[in-house]
Structure 1
Amino acid sequence: MNLAERNLTAADVTQEAEGRWRELLQPNFLAATVTLCLGVALFAFNEFFVSTALPSAVAEFGGAALLSWAFTLYLVFAIVGGALAANLKARFGARRTLIVAALVFVTGTVIATAASGMPQVLAGRLLQGLGEGIIAAVCYALIPELFPPRLVPKIFGAEAIVWATSAFAGPLISGLLTEYWSWRAAFFVNVPAAAIFIALVVAIVRQPAQAGRAAGSIPLFRLLGFGFGILLISLSNTTGNGYAMTALLVTTLLIFVGAIQFDRRSSNAILPSDAFATGRPLGTGLWVILLMPLAQASGSVYLVYAMQHLWDFGPTAAGFSSALMAMSWSATAILVASLRSYEFRVQLIGTGPLLLILGLIGLTLAVETGEHRLIFVSQIAIGTGFGVSWGTLSQLLMDVATIGERDKTSALLPTLQSAGYAIGAAVFGLTANARGFDEGASDRVMTAALSGVFALGCVIAAASLFFGIRTLRLMRREIRTAPCGQSTAQRSA
């Protein structure tokens, strides 16, 4: 399949983006901007709200052993919902899909808010994850439909602002509500936000007249396979036995490989046809989307713990390192989105994994040398790496996908990002445990374990750099071989 059959032409790549930030606030784009940002905010705020409020729910009901399952079930069903999103959008249309998904999310929120025990909280979290996974994926798929190409970078920049706001305001608001009112209030805040989201969807998202005709049957078996694989990854984090953890991860790998191979042979595939193919820019780009969060998970899982136990940082100061990464990501994403040249932004994609490598090397050196100031510099480098490349890479993958697979590709991006974090948490958990990491471990053992974790993160980040560079080379090759001057729409006609 060459570039003539895709959405990207040489003229598209070299065009100067003329979009302005103020256009997002004009009447013809304002509602769409608010809708998509609110869809992201539901996911982001819910993540930060719940992580702060859940311990209070556990304290009220007991069952601390179930705390991790509140996160596990949300993640598993968010990934399943994201994988299902493109099929639902094709079958029922974006508007109906978003409305029903929001109602599922609200139902889960109400169940968790009114819970009388941890089982009800878990049931609510399951429904929240399923609904929000669909919402996030469909919102990504709507970006190229609701906005012209010149404004797509600005939308990714606006979503970066939402994430930064959530990282700061989410824990603060949730903490205040939990402390001075109830943890239930922190959950219930999602209900009015979802109601506003539904109203905006009804107002701006059009329902296609032929929704459902192009959709095949729901690939339930493959969805269960992907979901079961993610569940095994989460389970591997709860076992203290290294052999059991390894067995679970190997089993997960076999399940994923089998499910992907089966999906490629199916006439009703979940994944784009070029997904993870090393000879296509879409395939190599998706590897970057998976591997960068996977590598960064080394810091998100263990960094705060290391700062508290190796350098005696308090929770607030240790948590600031994560906020610093989020700030750097958002600030850089906004700056990159303001660049007018699409071609120049594309060239920066390879810089993102490189900065990620440098940041993880810095974390490794910080642990080895005891120089805690390196942590803050490294977190800035990691956040900048994501900010400089993530939005542009996402837009590029939407562009290089075939017209018929654009929804699958767009919806896969947030789903694959979540999967990367889940896989990373398991892989680095196995690495740390194999090197003696334990709650009562000495500083020397903990240092060795965390050095191994961050060093492995560097290796994975290096793989993402390889695929990032290869994505750019494959894209240039396809542009050179594609006939100039014709768009995909013209060729299809």
Structure 2
Amino acid sequence: MSAPDASRASSGWPALFGRSKIATSLALSGGAALHAVNLYIAITVLPSVVREIGGLDLYAWNTTVFVLASLIGAAASSAVLAHAGARAGYALAAVVFIAGAMACAGASDMVVMLVGRFLQGIGGGVLLALAYAMVRRVYAEPLWPRALALLSAMWGLATLVGPAVGGHFAEHGLWRASFLAVIPVAVVVGLTAMAVLPGRERERPGAETPPAAQLAILALAVLAASWGGIGRSTGWTAAGMATALILAGAFVRLERTASQKLLPADAYDGSKALGGLYALSGLLAATVTSAEIFLPLFLQELHGLSPVEAGYIAAVMSAGWTAAAIFSSGLSADRRSVAVRAGPVLSLTAMVVLVVVMPWRGGEDGWTPLVLICGALALGGAGVGLAYPLLSTLVLRAASAAEADKAAASIMTVQLCATAFGAAFAGLSVNLAGTMTHEAGASMANSARWLFITLAAAPMLCCFLMTGASFRQVVRRSGWEVGRSLMRRRKKS
């Protein structure tokens, strides 16, 4: 086997799922899938939950509590890894997740359900972040893009499996069983991790307890943004969003001066690329996750689809994400620079198309807008899938050795923050746009139009950030500039 062939073999999917790595790959991807699938199962069965135990006024808090708890778990994962090790950390997180699932399954009222969702979020957040943190430890560097693409693909898988599983249980009046169904998966993931992941290593520099003050401020900022996003009145909206922005500013100021930080110190250094990479990955992820919240609503109300039909069409975006993530992980180094820059352009194009076609009912030919919507959703998801794993790879390479674990685990911390804030601002745009007209159909169409106008700002900002010197520098250091790999091969020959 020639040197280039050997290099390709060592960085391909067979190496990731070879005899020596298959159990590790399954444990890490299983932890990420458990968190993501559980999120979509819960969203699907919640209407059935409310019908049986009540608590409609706390309906939205199921997702809010879960995301906030996941954020706390993800933020704590670097400390868990440093003090307990990957093996014990995975086992502990799986136990907490199982306890939460059992609480949800046995809930007699919504308060108990929210306690269970909080525990699930804590355990799932640790599992999710540890999966990213372990990529750098358990795989050789040529495998990083493949491993990160595998973890990213779990979100696409979740949007296909989660609603199907949740819908099946809900249809038969067995919503409690849907929470119990994930317990065997959690047990298998925990046991597999205990068998193949490394134990506790000597405590690394920078290992510390989670920064409670920053976490508390960040959680309050998310809650304030979520409250403002409801849009009940102009005063409440302004107060909620202003409070969220003030708290976000306080968080950044505290992070810059605190001895214990939530994100790596380089994330706040303008001369370093790490902060920009986190911003890029967060903005891209928020584009898709914010759109997915409202897609079923718009597809049902504007295009007359059934819940099942709307769910499967909405899943096209995640399918595009998954397919593109797998594709981008196999690109040669001299094509990754093009791919990572193309991602935001594709997502921006998709949002612009959806601004036009989502409110369009299509008259008698209702299939025309649906075909265009499916194409735009696939394109938008592909844009994120194309760039996100490559941005995660750049995070691992840009991080200092002292904060390598924190930098990797913080990928999910940033994504969860972006998801929470993105959902709040998306909700605000939908609610405000809906008040611009009194006619029901026109109101929904206007909400759809302004949602995608708002979401288009995220990939547009990404395009601007990618023109910065620090981003160009980290891409160049990674050897991803177009033609560099070809030039090296010619010199060797």
Query: TM-score over 0.5 for the alignment?
Result: yes
Question: Per the alignment, do residues 446 and 16 of structure 1 end up closer, same or farther by CA in structure 2, a change over 3 Å counting?
Answer: same
Q: Which residue of 2 aligns with 1:359?
A: 350
Q: How does 1:257-406 map to 2 (within 5 A)?
A: 257-275=249-267, 277-339=269-331, 341-367=332-358, 369-370=360-361, 372=369, 373-406=371-404
1:175 and 1:368 map into 2 onto residues whose CA distance is 27
Q: How does 1:428-439 map to 2 (within 5 A)?
A: 428-437=426-435
Question: Per the alignment, do residues 420 and 441 of structure 1 end up closer, same or farther by CA in structure 2, a change over 3 Å counting?
Answer: farther
Question: Per the alignment, do residues 438 and 126 of structure 1 end up closer, same or farther by CA in structure 2, a change over 3 Å counting?
Answer: farther
Question: Per the alignment, do residues 348 and 472 of structure 1 end up closer, same or farther by CA in structure 2, a change over 3 Å counting?
Answer: farther
Larger deviation: 320-329 or 236-245?
236-245
Q: Which residue of 2 aligns with 1:8?
A: none
Q: How does 1:37-436 map to 2 (within 5 A)?
A: 37-180=29-172, 182-211=174-203, 214-275=206-267, 277-339=269-331, 341-367=332-358, 369-370=360-361, 372=369, 373-436=371-434
Q: Which residue of 2 aligns with 1:488?
A: none
Displacement after TM superposition at 1:394 (Å): 0.5
Displacement after TM superposition at 1:199 (Å): 0.8
Displacement after TM superposition at 1:215 (Å): 2.6
Displacement after TM superposition at 1:61 (Å): 0.7
Question: Per the alignment, do residues 411 and 239 of structure 1 end up closer, same or farther by CA in structure 2, a change over 3 Å counting?
Answer: same
Displacement after TM superposition at 1:385 (Å): 0.1
Q: Could you say what secondary structure the match of 2:265 adopts?
A: coil
Q: Which residue of 2 aligns with 1:487?
A: none
**Percent of matched pairs sharing the same residue:** 27
Larger deviation: 350-359 or 278-287?
278-287
> What whole-Å deviation, never above 9, does each CA across 1:210-266 have from its counterpart, x for those lacking one?
237753343211111112212222223345113312221221121122112211212
Task: Name the aligned partner's letter for residue 386 of structure 1.
Answer: V
Pairing 1:456–2:450 present: no
1:439 and 1:39 map into 2 onto residues whose CA distance is 45
Q: Is the 8 A contact 2:325 2:389 kept in 1?
A: yes
2:250 and 2:63 map into 1 onto residues whose CA distance is 26
1:299 and 1:219 map into 2 onto residues whose CA distance is 31
Question: Per the alignment, do residues 232 and 439 of structure 1 end up closer, same or farther by CA in structure 2, a change over 3 Å counting?
Answer: farther
Q: Is the 8 A contact 2:97 2:122 kept in 1?
A: yes
> What whole-Å deviation, never above 9, does each CA across 1:107-147 have from its counterpart, x for those lacking one?
11111111222211111001111111111111110011111
**Structure 1 unaligned residues grouped into runs of 5+:** 1-14, 481-493
Q: Is the 8 A contact 1:280 1:474 kept in 2?
A: no
TM-score of the superposed pair, with normalisation by structure 2: 0.88
2:270 and 2:356 map into 1 onto residues whose CA distance is 32
Q: Which residue of 1 aligns with 2:366?
A: none
> What whole-Å deviation, never above 9, does each CA across 1:465-486 have from its counterpart, x for those lacking one?
2123435413256679xxxxxx
User: Which of 1 and 2 has higher RCO (CA within 8 Å, sep 6+)?
Assistant: 1
Larger deviation: 228-237 or 124-133?
228-237
Q: Is the 8 A contact 2:157 2:322 kept in 1?
A: no
Displacement after TM superposition at 1:382 (Å): 0.4
Displacement after TM superposition at 1:74 (Å): 0.6
> What whole-Å deviation, never above 9, does each CA across 1:391-416 have from its counterpart, x for those lacking one?
11111111111111121211111221
1:88 and 1:22 map into 2 onto residues whose CA distance is 31
Question: Per the alignment, do residues 324 and 209 of structure 1 end up closer, same or farther by CA in structure 2, a change over 3 Å counting?
Answer: closer
TM-score of the superposed pair, with normalisation by structure 1: 0.88
Larger deviation: 120-129 or 157-166?
157-166
Question: How many equivalent pairs are there?
Answer: 465
Q: Is the 8 A contact 1:242 1:433 kept in 2?
A: no
Q: Which residue of 1 aligns with 2:490?
A: none
Task: Name the aligned partner's letter for residue 410 of structure 2.
Answer: L
Q: Is the 8 A contact 1:346 1:393 kept in 2?
A: no
1:179 and 1:458 map into 2 onto residues whose CA distance is 36
Question: Per the alignment, do residues 448 and 238 of structure 1 end up closer, same or farther by CA in structure 2, a change over 3 Å counting?
Answer: closer
2:169 and 2:297 map into 1 onto residues whose CA distance is 25
Larger deviation: 354-363 or 130-139?
130-139
2:309 and 2:79 map into 1 onto residues whose CA distance is 44
2:360 and 2:454 map into 1 onto residues whose CA distance is 18
Displacement after TM superposition at 1:302 (Å): 2.7
1:321 and 1:78 map into 2 onto residues whose CA distance is 27
Question: Per the alignment, do residues 59 and 384 of structure 1 end up closer, same or farther by CA in structure 2, a change over 3 Å counting?
Answer: same
Displacement after TM superposition at 1:442 (Å): 2.7
Q: Which residue of 2 aligns with 1:466?
A: 464
Larger deviation: 134-143 or 308-317?
308-317
Q: Is the 8 A contact 2:83 2:203 kept in 1?
A: yes
Question: Per the alignment, do residues 211 and 335 of structure 1 end up closer, same or farther by CA in structure 2, a change over 3 Å counting?
Answer: same
Larger deviation: 264-273 or 227-236?
227-236
Q: Could you say what secondary structure the match of 1:27 adopts?
A: coil
Question: Per the alignment, do residues 297 and 202 of structure 1 end up closer, same or farther by CA in structure 2, a change over 3 Å counting?
Answer: closer
Q: Is the 8 A contact 1:153 1:395 kept in 2?
A: yes
Task: Name the aligned partner's letter for residue 473 of structure 2.
Answer: L
> What whole-Å deviation, never above 9, does each CA across 1:155-198 have from its counterpart, x for those lacking one?
23333443333222222222223333611110011211111111
Pairing 1:442–2:433 present: no
Q: Is the 8 A contact 2:104 2:112 kept in 1?
A: yes
1:188 and 1:479 map into 2 onto residues whose CA distance is 44
Larger deviation: 245-254 or 309-318?
309-318
Question: Per the alignment, do residues 298 and 127 of structure 1 end up closer, same or farther by CA in structure 2, a change over 3 Å counting?
Answer: closer
